[in-house]
Amino acid sequence: MAVLALRAGKHVYVEKPSSHNPREGELLVEAQRKYNKKVQVGDQQRSSPHSIRIINEIHQGRIGRAYFGFSWYSNTRKSMGIGKVVPVPDYLDWDLWQGPAPRSEYKDNIHPYNWHWLTRYGTGEALNNGTHEVDVARWALGVEMPQRITTSAGRYQFKDDWQFPDTMTTSFEYPDALITWEGKSCNGQKFYNRDRGVCISGTTGSVVLDRTGYEVYDLNGKKTDEFVSQKDRASSHDLLSRDSMTDAHFANFIAAIQKDEPLHSPIPVANVSVTMLQLSNIAYFVKRDLHLDTTNGHVLNDKEAMGMWSRHYQPGWEVRV
């Protein structure tokens, strides 16, 4: 839909690609370059004033040379159960709702939210929430596409229709830096008393950062500074994003259109973070590490993994630029 909007001459705000295949993000980048439109991705923390401030301080050496970003997300999601084929609700256009996905029968446990956990429609927790935290870690470390991705994951909490992992640990390796993301969809145990966030480690200290504020620590774990926002929230149960950083993100998008202000999360930048987590899912499904071409994220010397770069489309719904 975003690509079609670009062709119609519109600027676009995009949440995330709708499948766990990296080609959709690649198509958005191609379309943005071809039609020269503004495309802002919903990594709203890049418009958070306190996040911008502390990330700039990290870049200026606040904790020495930053080299490790540990990121996480914890929630207590319930089972989606075993779906039953039922009539489509009269308010839902099931054919349109499925979009480019190969057609399937309507089941009572897919709409409106549990589609996230099905490979036909969604991306799992890695792309639902992991991409947000990994994006902040990548921003803080100033890194692009990693050279290797490792994933250990599984579906452990419930036995149901859920097809993606509910528990995942994935690592992104660089020549001189490392990012990890730990996702727990069904166990709400927090890190640093936060159910989502990042901890950036450097040679002289660390910064713990989330959507509500940040804390700065020395090498011995002593807190030396902190900031707490009175406006934003970081709860993993927040599904509405009614907060000041989301307002600021839309304001940045509008200013980019009206005044040519630089976007905080343009599609070429955001697509790197999205592709990294999509590749984490692929590493999980093929059960091995992925070695990447760092210029484009393509998997090296692994035909099976690279074969998952694109999705199968419903005939007539193929996306082209």
Average pLDDT of every residue of the chain: 92
What is the edge-to-edge ordering of all strands in the sheet holding 290-291? 223-228, 213-218, 205-210, 196-202, 66-74, 178-184, 167-173, 148-154, 290-291
**Residue 115 is encoded by which pair of tokens?**
């589609």
d(CA 139, CA 182): 18
- For residues 256 and 264, what is the distance between their CA atoms, to the nearest angstrom? 9
- Collapsing DSSP to helix, strand or coil, 265 comes out as coil
Distance CA 163, CA 152 (A): 15
| Residues 198, 140 contacting (CB under 8 angstroms) | yes
The model's pLDDT over 123-179, given as tens digits with 9 standing for 90+, comes to 999 999 999 999 999 999 999 999 999 999 999 999 999 999 999 999 999 999 999
Q: Residue 3: what pLDDT?
A: 39
CA distance 230 to 228: 6
| CATH class name, domain 2-306 | alpha beta
Site of tokens 């419930």 = 158
pLDDT for the residue numbered 51:
98
Interval 202-232: pLDDT, tens = 999 999 999 999 999 999 999 999 999 876 6
Pairing of the two strands 39-41 and 66-74: unpaired
CB atoms within 10 A of CB 257: 14
- Residue 312 clears pLDDT 60, i.e. is over it: yes
313, pLDDT greater than 60: yes
Which pTM value belongs to this model?
0.92
Structural domain boundaries in the chain: 2-306
Using 50, 70 and 90 to split pLDDT, how confident is the model at 233?
low
In degrees and rounded to multiples of 5, residue 315 shows phi and psi of -50, 130
pLDDT of 243 reads 84
Cβ atoms within 10 Å, residue 54: 24
Among 5-14, 252-261, 266-275, 298-307, the range scoring the smallest mean pLDDT is 5-14
Under DSSP, the state recorded for 46 is G
Question: Quick one: pLDDT band at residue 2, thresholds 50, 70, 90?
Answer: very low
CB 100 within 8 A of CB 318: yes
Per-residue pLDDT of 7-62, as tens digits, reads 445 677 776 555 567 888 899 999 999 999 999 999 999 999 999 999 999 999 99
Nearest to 274 by CA among 117, 69, 127, 121: 127
Q: At what angle do helices 49-59 and 131-141 cross, to 10 degrees?
A: 40
Q: Which residue has the higher pLDDT, 311 or 179?
A: 179
pLDDT for position 230: 78
Residue 1 has pLDDT above 50, yes or no: no
CB 135 within 8 A of CB 270: yes
> Residue 67 to residues 138, 197, 321: CA-CA distances in angstroms?
10, 17, 37
| For range 112-117, the mean pLDDT | 96
Residue with tokens 């589609």: 115
